[in-house]
Structures are given as structure tokens and as C-alpha cells.
Structure 1
Amino acid sequence: MTTKRLFLSKKDDFDTQISKSLSWILRHGAHKLQLPIDSEGFIDLVAVISSESLQGKCTLEDIQRIVKNNDKQRFTIRRNCFTNKLEIRANQGHSIQTVTSLELIPIKPDFKSDIIHGTYHRFWPKIKEIGLSRMNRVHIHFTTAIPKGKEHVISGMRNNCGIYIYIDFPKAFESGLQFFMSSNKVILSPGNDNGIIEPKYFLKIIDVKTAAAMAVVYDIFRPTLNDEQVENSDSAGKNMSK
């Protein structure tokens, strides 16, 4: 069987390498590895350790330590009350479409925290045009805070993002978009029917390096001017240049 190659850095320590392998198996690779996964995302832990990706590389104790110490609390281990077997899941980030019953709390209209998506400048032109996409995943990920330096870890956002996109939650909610909070406090949204959150629901965009509002640079929030407004604007500009 050919499985997806995991891009592990030689600089990663043992626990980080195993954590990355776990993330791929539990979020994306279960079906490729022929591992039964339930609607809540749980897989038999012994089967995971014995899978092609992890066989001979780690022990049960290794997995339990990694799950306990994971800085973003990406995983949950439970004991199945019917089989008495240990099971493990990723708390979010799945592309496996049959995982539909994660423990998600719907966010209500009175939610007061910021909803922020972190991304990179190379993705901004497409995001500006079509919005945020869940791609092949089940949800788009957000946080309620931003990292305070590169050593500060926040679930739901990488600490080296170049752009922060703030969502206008009242407007998005009023339009029917749904948002949820996961068990490790990541904000998740499936987007619209096409898996998109359109730019009209962006409240502000911040360049991380300069802390400047990128709306000024990219003009995505400036209203379209009619011919009369354009003419008046041109006249004003000419008068100022005299």
C-alpha cells in the first residue's frame, strides 16, 4: 500500500515527529491506512500505533505523553465504554468527510470575542478575491486571540502568520454562517454552501509585521465611486496640487 509521504524535518525532535504523523493519520489518512474511524473522529489507539505510518516507531506510553504535553491540545484519548479499548482522535482539522460529530459548541449571537484567521501574504490575492476557503477540510479555523511572539502558542493559528483576518461575526451570523468552538478552544466554521467565507464578512485585515490595516493598501472596503464622485474627486485632487 502506498501512503502519503509525511514531510518531517530532520530538526524535529522525536515527539514532534510522532505528533505530525498522528495529525496526518487522524485528520486525513485513516481511510488510506484502512483504519476504521467513527463519526466523532475516534480510532482504536492500538490500531493507530500498529499502522504502516507508526509501526515500530513508538509505544502506547509515547503517544499518551505526546497527547498530554501537546502545546495546542490537538488530540483526545478516551476509553470506549463498550469495548474498553483506548481510542484517539484529532480535535479538529479533518479532511475526512465522515467525521461529522465532533464535540463542537455552537457560537451564539452574543459572542463578544474576536474571531481571527491567520494566513500568509502569498495567499492574500486569492483570499481578497474569493474569501477564506475550507479547502479539502471540514472547517475553516479561527482563534480568539493572536500570538504574542513566535514562542507563544495558540490553538488554531500558526505563530508565523503574516496576516490576521478579523471576521465581522454579527454580520456573518445574521447571514446564516455558522461558527463553533472545539474542545481545545479553536473556532471553526464550515463557511457557506461552497465552503467559503466571503470578503464582505471581513471586519479588518492586519499586516502582522507592520501592524497596519491592509484594507488601506488593498482597497477592498472602499465603496465603488460613481462617475460624478470620480469627477469631483479628480477636481479636488487638481485643486490640491495647485
Structure 2
Amino acid sequence: MCGAAWQVEMKLLADHGYRAIAHDRRGHGRSAQPWDGNDMDTYAADLAALVEALDLRDLVLVGHSTGGGEVVRYAAQHGGDRVAKIITAGAVPPVMVKSSSNPEGTPIEAFDEIRAGVLKDRSQFYRDLAFPFFGANRDGAEVSEGAREDFWRQGMLVGLQGAYDCVRAFSETDFTDDLKALDVPMFVAHGDDDQIVPLADSALKTAELVQDVTLKVYPGAPHGIYGAYQEALDRDILEFIRS
């Protein structure tokens, strides 16, 4: 997904007097689609270049899913005294993939399947992925076709190389040391029915590593920020920024 995913939150924040900026990471949305640099270190360096170009200070960083990893790495390795607070939702840290040091993680085969789906027929892959992404495959789910189609639209804006490489970036990057290095307040939000980034492997572990953390688990909420989950999360984001 790209910066367009945050339009509701950007309006909410702007309506309350804050300056709200969303960017499209390289390979995504309206950004350039370079062959190289589709990795978490470069994503964070790109964000640092944007922040420095605009000379942004007293920043509250907000990131969802892969973006949650991006803002954590930026804050730990580039943020310095520019960052005031961090907010993540359904974020990938500390590390997703299963390994000898992370036996509870997701097997690499699951991420290989994502890469295969992107290569074979990415348009259909994104249409299918929208259902678990928003929890539309659950009984009683109320997710509009429009929301699913917008997920597909944003996915189709990603260049093939960027999409393929991003799988490794979000699944294999280890953010453990980054989380330990954070010294600003962090709000960690996660749905307990997240089918994309399992709660136990991400937010619960993150909360154990960060010095000053507020963890909130949203009952029944999926990975995608939508509906009642979005309304509750947006209220909490605004409250955390004000606190």
C-alpha cells in the first residue's frame, strides 16, 4: 500500500491542527521504481532524506505493517532528536520469519508463496489477499467491495521488483536492536485477529523490548485498518499524540 492508505487519518490530524505528511516508499504509489534499494535500510534512509529535506522536528511517526518496521528503523538509526513519539499498527517488528532464534515465527515457505503469487498473477493475488487482510473471510464481516478494490489498486501501483523484494524486507528484517534502542514513547496497536502479522509474533514481543511502550490489542480486529477498528484506532492515535 502507499500514502493514500492514510488519507482519513491525515484529514483527522489536519482538522485538529497538526501537520500530516504521508509518503510513498520507493517502488510504491507515485514514487520512482528503482531496481535496487528495496530493503528496510534504504526505506529508512529514504525517510531520513525526506525528514531532513523538510527539516521536520518534534515528529510523531506512524507506521502500519511494513511501514511500522520502517519508522522503527528510522527512529533508531536516523531519528536523533527529531522524533517525539512512535505509533505502529499491525507492525512487523521484531521479526516475522521463523528461525532457530525465532522458533515461533512464520515459516519461510509462507513468504515464498507470497513471492510466487506476485510473480504468477499479482493482480489476482492482491484481490485474493484483500479478504484475509481485512478479515472479510470471517463470518459476519462487513468489509466493502470498495475497500478491497482500493487495496488491489494500491497493490497494482507497486512495481514488480519492488513488490517482490519487499517481501524479504518485511519478513526477514530483524528489528530487535532497533526496538531496544528507542527512548521515546511508543504506542503499539494490533488486532487480535490479524491474519497477516500474527499478534503473538509481533506486538506482544515488541512490547517486551521497548522502554516506554503502551500496548493496545483490539478484539476481533484484522490487519487492515477499516471500519470500527479504524474508528477506535484513530481516536487512540489522536489521544496518544495529545498526551
> TM bucket by the smaller chain?
under 0.3
For normalisation by structure 2, the TM-score amounts to 0.28
Q: Which has the larger radius of gyration?
A: 1
